[in-house]
Amino acid sequence: MDSTVLHKSIKSPKWWRTAVIYQIYPRSFADGNGDGIGDLVGTTARLESLRSLGIDAIWFSPFFKSPQKDAGYDVADYKTIDPLFGTNQDFDDLLAKAKSLDLKIIVDLVPNHSSEEHELFQAALNASPGSPEREMYIFRDGKGANGELPPNNWESVFGGNAWTRTTNPDGTRGQWYLHIFDSSQPDFNWENPKVHALFEDVLRFWLDKGVAGFRIDVAHGMVKAKGLPDVQVPVSQTVDDEETEHPFWGQEGVHEIIRSWRKIVDEYDDRVMCAEAWVLPLSRMAKWVREDEYHQTFNFGYLETGWNKAGLLKVITDSLTEFGKVGAPSTWVLSNHDVIRHVSRYGLPGVPPQGDGIGPNSEQPDEAIGLRKGRAATAFMLGLPGSSYIYQGEELGLPEHTTLDGKYREDPTWFRTNGERVGRDGCRVPLPWEAHGGASRGFSANGKSWLPQPDNYARYARDLQEGVAGSTLELYKRLIKLRKVHALGSGEFKFSPENSSETTLAYINNDVLVISNFGPDSVNVPAGELLVTTQHDLTIEGVLEHDQTVWLKL
């Protein structure tokens, strides 16, 4: 470790370069009409809580018209709010209130696939092979004497085959269509200019409404290799070396699409596109955020690093170096709706593969140590320069629901693997707002909730933490506030070898020294004005205990 400056301070950064962006998973944030599913009216009523948290922007997971086979990532109409969540008017009202609270709104764009219920897919099913309707999606004849075998060996991310065979109107078997995700999510054919036109129109529709930008789902998908060749390497959802080509992840042609979107987005003032691209290593990920492409991309390398000193030292160095080379800010993220909540990951000796989840038969996390490490990890993350993402509930220290009964599960992963992989529902459970707010703890006025909360959620309810010194909620508020006061999002950043030891890692961002202790023993910290610490409120007495982070003013 040396003290090279890895990030230079930026004088007047664009808002998204330093923003703390809060992810709302709409069906689990707040229910306004008592059906047990979160919605826009419920969310609008709770918006002040996000203002007080101090965040800059909200990214909403999809709330568009959808049969909800993949919790809304199967979109049937990109310009209409699903009645489950409300109306387009409810969205306009939400946007207006957010604006009055100085909160920006980012919406989710799902361009790789639609729902099977999208009118274009229905038209394709009802049209004949080779027709313009079928050309909107990826239909192929099967292999084998009677077309009974799928066109290639591609597998669905959720398990099983990535192809489903259609049935003709006369009952005979027909062509196959491609779905990299669930069979209810047919992939669009991005070779077709009409698909480009469709999404350009969608972009403008939401930009004209005044959203601050888009989170782009499967942002490195869309284009498939010519001829749809078999996957050679074992089927994996990420490309994780420098060179290997993959027939459906990170094809060169995707960059052209992004450039065309960037032109549209740049016609508007100060909007942003954030890419969900599970691509590693970081040098490869950085190609998605070159000057004329996406503005930023979720740093999944950081998310996967875990609570360990050497790993964080490396991933931060690589991130700031690689994103720096292309002039993009790095982002930092620990949790989202696809991964086990980070406090629960840190409570386990090893982390299950992404998307697998934790079920009643799995090893159970240690809740106390997980929370402790989780708080320390968040404090370490929020001092870094760039933009940070927070997933709803983590500001409460909320753990994963790790014992959810199979009968409640909705993730397609659960169905497609016959329960072998329990899937992602455990991180999607509705939020506890009030400890004594009925069976769903204030999520819904009548106690309903589409997934039941585990008993321990009572301890994490927001009202128990509001204004309580040392609570996770107050810790997040303080970190986000200090981050602004000291301009850490755009700060000059370097590691601090002189303040690090064998078990601690220290960095300096502007005038703030951040130290985390990863080891089992307490260590002494240098004198300095205490700004925040993750284990004691306001007093520290010069000692940093295990799994604790402290911010000191230099």
Residues designated catalytic = 217, 267
Among 42, 355, 374, 426, binds ligand TEU (CB under 6 A): 355
Inter-CA distances, 243 with 227, 380, 427, Å: 20, 32, 33
Contact of residue 37 among ligand TEU, Ca ion, none (CB under 5-8 Å per partner type): Ca ion
Residue 59 near residue 49, CB atoms below 8 Å:
no
Half-sphere exposure of residue 27: CA atoms within 13 angstroms, side-chain side = 24
- Please, what is the minimum distance in Å from the beta carbon of residue 339 to ligand TEU? 8
The site that binds ligand TEU (CB under 6 A) totals a number of residues, namely 15
Contact of residue 338 among ligand TEU, Ca ion, none (CB under 5-8 Å per partner type): ligand TEU
Long-range pairs of 139-144 with CB within 8 A, sequence gap ≥ 24: 139/166, 139/175, 139/176, 139/177, 139/178, 140/175, 140/176, 140/177, 140/178, 140/228, 141/175, 141/176, 142/175, 142/176
- Please, what is the minimum distance in Å from the beta carbon of residue 427 to ligand TEU? 10
| Binding piece for Ca ion, criterion CB under 5 A, among 38-46, 74-82, 106-114, 317-325 | 38-46
Structure letter (DSSP) for residue 396? G
470: left (phi over 0), alpha (psi -120 to 50) or beta: left
Helices 88-100, 193-209: inter-axial angle, 10-degree rounding: 50
Rounded Cα distance, 79 and 102, in Å: 24
Verify binding: residue 202, ligand TEU, rule CB under 6 A: no
Task: Specify the residue, 73 or 493, whose C-beta has the smaller distance to ligand TEU.
Answer: 73
Verify binding: residue 90, Ca ion, rule CB under 5 A: no
Verify binding: residue 354, ligand TEU, rule CB under 6 A: yes
- As to burial, measured by CB atoms within 10 angstroms (0-12 exposed, 13-18 middle, 19+ buried), residue 100 is exposed
- Please, what is the minimum distance in Å from the beta carbon of residue 70 to ligand TEU? 5
**Residue with the CB atom nearest Ca ion in the bound state:** 39
Q: Which of positions 396-435 make contact with ligand TEU (CB under 6 A)? A: 413
Contact of residue 39 among ligand TEU, Ca ion, none (CB under 5-8 Å per partner type): Ca ion
Question: Residues 6 or more apart from 488 whose CB is under 8 A from it?
Answer: 18, 382, 383, 384, 385, 482, 509, 510, 512
Contact of residue 35 among ligand TEU, Ca ion, none (CB under 5-8 Å per partner type): Ca ion
Task: Specify the residue, 33 or 80, whose C-beta has the smaller distance to Ca ion.
Answer: 33
Q: Which of positions 92-111 make contact with ligand TEU (CB under 6 A)? A: 110
Task: Specify the residue, 425 or 545, whose C-beta has the smaller distance to Ca ion.
Answer: 425
Task: Specify the residue, 203 or 540, whose C-beta has the smaller distance to ligand TEU.
Answer: 203
Among 4, 5, 35, 229, binds Ca ion (CB under 5 A): 35
Verify binding: residue 37, Ca ion, rule CB under 5 A: yes
Task: Specify the residue, 25 or 493, whose C-beta has the smaller distance to ligand TEU.
Answer: 25
Verify binding: residue 278, ligand TEU, rule CB under 6 A: yes
466: left (phi over 0), alpha (psi -120 to 50) or beta: beta
Rounded Cα distance, 21 and 387, in Å: 8
Verify binding: residue 347, ligand TEU, rule CB under 6 A: no
Half-sphere exposure of residue 143: CA atoms within 13 angstroms, side-chain side = 7
Q: Tell me the three state secondary structure of residue 371.
A: helix
Output the six-digit token pair for 266: 């740049």
Cis amide linkage into residue 454, ω under 30° from 0: no
Task: Specify the residue, 85 or 460, whose C-beta has the smaller distance to ligand TEU.
Answer: 85
Residue 397 near residue 460, CB atoms below 8 Å:
yes
Among 33, 192, 236, 403, binds Ca ion (CB under 5 A): 33
Output the six-digit token pair for 326: 């292309």
86: left (phi over 0), alpha (psi -120 to 50) or beta: left
Verify binding: residue 217, ligand TEU, rule CB under 6 A: yes
Task: Specify the residue, 122 or 236, whose C-beta has the smaller distance to ligand TEU.
Answer: 236
Verify binding: residue 176, ligand TEU, rule CB under 6 A: no
Contact of residue 214 among Ca ion, ligand TEU, none (CB under 5-8 Å per partner type): none
Residue 137 near residue 124, CB atoms below 8 Å:
yes
Among 78, 139, 181, 248, binds ligand TEU (CB under 6 A): 181
Which residue(s) pair with 216 in the sheet?
Answer: 109, 275
The site that binds Ca ion (CB under 5 A) totals a number of residues, namely 5
- Please, what is the minimum distance in Å from the beta carbon of residue 236 to ligand TEU? 10
Rounded Cα distance, 303 and 379, in Å: 14
Verify binding: residue 73, ligand TEU, rule CB under 6 A: yes
**Residue with the CB atom nearest ligand TEU in the bound state:** 355
Verify binding: residue 213, ligand TEU, rule CB under 6 A: no
- Please, what is the minimum distance in Å from the beta carbon of residue 62 to Ca ion? 15
Q: CA 474, 477, 480, 484 torsion: positive or negative?
A: negative
Contact of residue 31 among Ca ion, ligand TEU, none (CB under 5-8 Å per partner type): Ca ion
Verify binding: residue 237, ligand TEU, rule CB under 6 A: yes
| Binding piece for Ca ion, criterion CB under 5 A, among 39-47, 54-62, 467-475, 532-540 | 39-47
DSSP string, 53-87: HT-SEEEEPP-EE---TTTTSS-SEEEEE-TTT--
Of 120, 122, 128, the C-alpha closest to 197 is 120
Instruction: Point out which residues bind Ca ion (CB under 5 A).
Output: 31, 33, 35, 37, 39
Instruction: Point out which residues bind ligand TEU (CB under 6 A).
Output: 70, 73, 110, 157, 181, 217-218, 237, 276, 278, 337-338, 354-355, 413
